[in-house]
Structure 1
Amino acid sequence: MSEITRAPVARVGVDLSKRVFQVHAVDCAGRLVLAKAFPVERFFAWCAELPQGCLVAMEACGGAHHVARRLRLLGLDARLVAGHFVTPYRMAGKSGKNDANDAAAICEAAGRPHMRFVPVKSCEQQGLLAVHRLREGYKEERTGCINRIRGLLAEFGLVFPQSPEALRRVLAEVIEDASNELPTIARMALQRAHLHWIDLELQLAWCDERIGAHVRSDARAQAAAQLHGIGPITASALVASVGDFAQFRNARQFGAWLGLVPSQNSTGGKASLGRITKRGDEYLRTLLIQGAKSAVMTAGKRSDRISQWLVQLKERAGWQKAVVALANKNARILWAVLTRGDTFDPEHVPLTPHERAARQAVPMAA
């Protein structure tokens, strides 16, 4: 414990863990007031004594949204900071990482006037995202289960086509076929693996049903699902993850938040653009990219402006760049649709800067 002044606390940095929260509190002048580790419940009791509206910052990590919601119920300004924004403010550098230094770095980062914070998710948002996380886990387990079954069958000279459907059609017959050299214990093991595969398929179907129900009951998710390359799963995940799209100043900032804009290595007035930054939520970015792949592959079958643009871009820049470009365009369109209340129109023609300026000048002249 280290106490320097007795001035009122103006800003608090908290390093979260499962059982102990490390606190670094400063006054309005940035002078240290308190540096101490609290048990979880004692931490909330201490926070209840802080001035109303006091800024309490934490890294965005597991359980951080729950802590932030509890602190906001106490009347505090709870905010979450992305971990990669905190690291540069750790005075001891990478070699001096500990809970106290991390709390101090969080407190310092939260005090920067241009710091960008992670929006605090509601319980409903996290509940929907729990379904998405479970679905991704079941998908990985299913792939692993199928690969294990293939590996076991290959040990006995039984090799089948790569698709899961091809294996599913013949697996039960192979297990029951007495003409192959599968021993009894191997048949029993494969039967259990087959049952596990079926159970995973049922779990995935339940997750898809919950996601579909969310899309049917949410007008914003229905609007998002109208875009080319955005299906029910992507629409549900975007609405649940982002919440209020108006937190982004413009569509370009939303695309950058998803990591779909080029990285820069520019100096001396010379711009050098590289690959996309891949910052932000990996799950959302992956869904947008996968959906864009499907839309690019079928663009030649549609006649709208966006599809024609995709066909031309694919021929000019290549298939992969067309996919990323569509994912970024979908993110920008989605921001416009959900913040302005517009409907998606694949034939929409954007205004030129001159036309936009002229339209804005009409009310002023009137």
Structure 2
Amino acid sequence: MNTVARIGVDLAKNVMQLHGVDESGNVVIRKSISRDRFAAWFANLAPCRVAMEACSSSNYWTRRLHSLGHDVVLIAPQFVTPYRKGGKQVKNDALDAEAICEAASRPHMRFVPVKTPAQQSVMVIHRMRTGFVEERTALTSRLRSLLGEFGVFIPQGIEIFRTKFVEALEAASNELHGLARAALLKGWEHWLALDEQIASLEEQIALHANQDNQAKQLLAIVGVGPITASATLATIVDAKQFKNGRQMAAWIGLVPKQASSGGKSRLGHITKKGNDYLRTLLVQGARAAITTAARRHDRLSRWIVEIRARLGWSRTLIAVANKHARIMWAILAKGERFDPSYVPHRPSFVVSPDTAT
């Protein structure tokens, strides 16, 4: 067998598909292998470049194969699709592995940074919290709608629901029978358990943010709280992978879509690429910054007030979220400190007397 230069791996739960080529691009490996034999097979292979799609288990396998001496890279799934024969219409494991192998050969391909176990552990806390919040929201809607069937109405909002539910349930004036009350109380107990779990996870996130020096720098930004700061550090991995703040904002999906041609630029809604959780947190933080901007007098707050008067609430919301993403890049990549009154220094151009006209 010729020397393997590059292998594309299509990861799966039980069976992995491999596609390997030599230096000339000739196919030398095309096979499937079980998960139990996966690491052992690579341990007996000479070090080479291994490419995989970024997915749930990719960080683990990347660290595992890297420890065996291989050069392992992760590629975002959307960057692999153009190289799959048949495009989106035709898809199977063998074609996916071949497309991954081909995508890894492109000189300008962008790769996904590998998370450490510590960073993945932080994201586990965030994902568990998100799941509990979604479950609590669904349960709130269910309990509220069931009460509504008996003419008992509770206004929208988690805090109002927390204070009004028991009072509304136990009111003697409603038509609820004992059987319905008992069932709704079971739901209320489950709601309280979810609320307690969410609070506990938020305490862990706040503790992580307050113990990390970079997170403390991010917390200085108005609208960036412990959850956003912690999620940013665990998601971005290394801010230096981006050339500038605009590139990081584009990766998060906070820039407009473009449909430009023939010298005419057409900008649409935001792309919503990248991590939707981090984008949601930035937008929520931007909402808080806009709400309180009129009470502050720094340069950034004045800019927020001016842009809201000119563009309206919705566009200002995205503009501030984009601005926060750029500021966070400067803090994480360049080690700068947040200054709300910062004035950028533009280079001065000196005209030489010899070239002056």
TM range (shorter): over 0.9
SS at match of 1:94: coil
Q: Which runs of 5+ in 1 are unaligned?
A: 1-5, 359-366
- Residue 92 of structure 1 aligns with which residue? 86
- Once the 2 structures are TM-superposed, how far is the Cα of residue 254 of structure 1 from its aligned partner? 1.0
| Partner of residue 51 from structure 2, selected from 50, 57, 66 | 57
SS at match of 2:51: strand
1:40 maps to amino acid: R
- The CA deviation string for residues 101-142 of structure 1, in whole angstroms up to 9 with x for no partner, is 010001001110101111111111110001111111111111
- Residue 16 of structure 2 aligns with which residue? 21
- Residue 341 of structure 1 aligns with which residue? 335
1:39 maps to amino acid: S
Report which stretch shifted further, 68-77 or 98-107: 68-77
Report which stretch shifted further, 81-90 or 167-176: 167-176
- Residue 236 of structure 2 aligns with which residue? 242
- Once the 2 structures are TM-superposed, how far is the Cα of residue 179 of structure 1 from its aligned partner? 4.4
Supply the distance in 2 between the matched residues of 1:169 and 1:97 (Cα, whole angstroms). 52
2:12 maps to amino acid: S
- Residue 231 of structure 1 aligns with which residue? 225
Supply the distance in 2 between the matched residues of 1:186 and 1:197 (Cα, whole angstroms). 16
Supply the distance in 2 between the matched residues of 1:177 and 1:328 (Cα, whole angstroms). 48
- Contact kept, 8 Å, 2:16 with 2:33, in 1: the verdict is yes
- Residue 115 of structure 2 aligns with which residue? 121
- Once the 2 structures are TM-superposed, how far is the Cα of residue 226 of structure 1 from its aligned partner? 0.8
Report which stretch shifted further, 67-76 or 265-274: 265-274
- Residue 285 of structure 1 aligns with which residue? 279
Percent of aligned pairs with the same amino acid: 51
- Residue 144 of structure 1 aligns with which residue? 138
| Mapped pair 1:103 → 2:111 | no
SS at match of 2:269: strand
Supply the distance in 2 between the matched residues of 1:20 and 1:77 (Cα, whole angstroms). 22
2:290 maps to amino acid: V
| Mapped pair 1:297 → 2:291 | yes
- Residue 206 of structure 1 aligns with which residue? 200
Supply the distance in 1 between the matched residues of 2:161 and 2:264 (Cα, whole angstroms). 55
TM-score by length of 1: 0.92
SS at match of 1:67: helix
- Once the 2 structures are TM-superposed, how far is the Cα of residue 335 of structure 1 from its aligned partner? 0.9
Supply the distance in 1 between the matched residues of 2:89 and 2:254 (Cα, whole angstroms). 32
- Residue 319 of structure 2 aligns with which residue? 325
- Residue 361 of structure 1 aligns with which residue? none
SS at match of 1:95: coil
| Mapped pair 1:38 → 2:33 | yes
- Once the 2 structures are TM-superposed, how far is the Cα of residue 41 of structure 1 from its aligned partner? 2.4
- Once the 2 structures are TM-superposed, how far is the Cα of residue 9 of structure 1 from its aligned partner? 0.5
| Mapped pair 1:158 → 2:169 | no
- Residue 247 of structure 2 aligns with which residue? 253
Supply the distance in 1 between the matched residues of 2:311 and 2:170 (Cα, whole angstroms). 52
- Contact kept, 8 Å, 2:80 with 2:100, in 1: the verdict is yes
Supply the distance in 1 between the matched residues of 2:154 and 2:337 (Cα, whole angstroms). 47
| Mapped pair 1:196 → 2:165 | no
- Residue 273 of structure 1 aligns with which residue? 267
- Once the 2 structures are TM-superposed, how far is the Cα of residue 182 of structure 1 from its aligned partner? 1.3
2:334 maps to amino acid: R
- Once the 2 structures are TM-superposed, how far is the Cα of residue 163 of structure 1 from its aligned partner? 2.6
- Contact kept, 8 Å, 2:143 with 2:187, in 1: the verdict is yes
Supply the distance in 2 between the matched residues of 1:264 and 1:17 (Cα, whole angstroms). 34
- The CA deviation string for residues 344-364 of structure 1, in whole angstroms up to 9 with x for no partner, is 100100012x33x78xxxxxx
- Residue 7 of structure 1 aligns with which residue? 2
SS at match of 2:89: helix
Map 1:297-316 onto structure 2 (within 5 A): 297-316=291-310
- The CA deviation string for residues 28-74 of structure 1, in whole angstroms up to 9 with x for no partner, is 1111011000001222112112222x111111111111111111111
1:285 maps to amino acid: R
- Once the 2 structures are TM-superposed, how far is the Cα of residue 220 of structure 1 from its aligned partner? 0.5
| Mapped pair 1:48 → 2:43 | yes
| Mapped pair 1:217 → 2:219 | no
- Once the 2 structures are TM-superposed, how far is the Cα of residue 342 of structure 1 from its aligned partner? 1.5
Supply the distance in 2 between the matched residues of 1:220 and 1:264 (Cα, whole angstroms). 33
Supply the distance in 2 between the matched residues of 1:157 and 1:173 (Cα, whole angstroms). 14
Supply the distance in 2 between the matched residues of 1:67 and 1:74 (Cα, whole angstroms). 11
SS at match of 2:16: strand
TM-score by length of 2: 0.95
What value does the CA root-mean-square deviation take over the aligned residues? 1.4
Q: Which runs of 5+ in 2 are unaligned?
A: 351-357
- Contact kept, 8 Å, 2:53 with 2:74, in 1: the verdict is yes
- Residue 364 of structure 1 aligns with which residue? none
Supply the distance in 2 between the matched residues of 1:270 and 1:178 (Cα, whole angstroms). 67
Supply the distance in 1 between the matched residues of 2:320 and 2:173 (Cα, whole angstroms). 52
- Once the 2 structures are TM-superposed, how far is the Cα of residue 180 of structure 1 from its aligned partner? 2.9
- Residue 353 of structure 2 aligns with which residue? none
Report which stretch shifted further, 320-329 or 13-22: 320-329
- Once the 2 structures are TM-superposed, how far is the Cα of residue 317 of structure 1 from its aligned partner? 1.2
- Once the 2 structures are TM-superposed, how far is the Cα of residue 92 of structure 1 from its aligned partner? 2.5
- Once the 2 structures are TM-superposed, how far is the Cα of residue 328 of structure 1 from its aligned partner? 1.0
SS at match of 1:266: coil
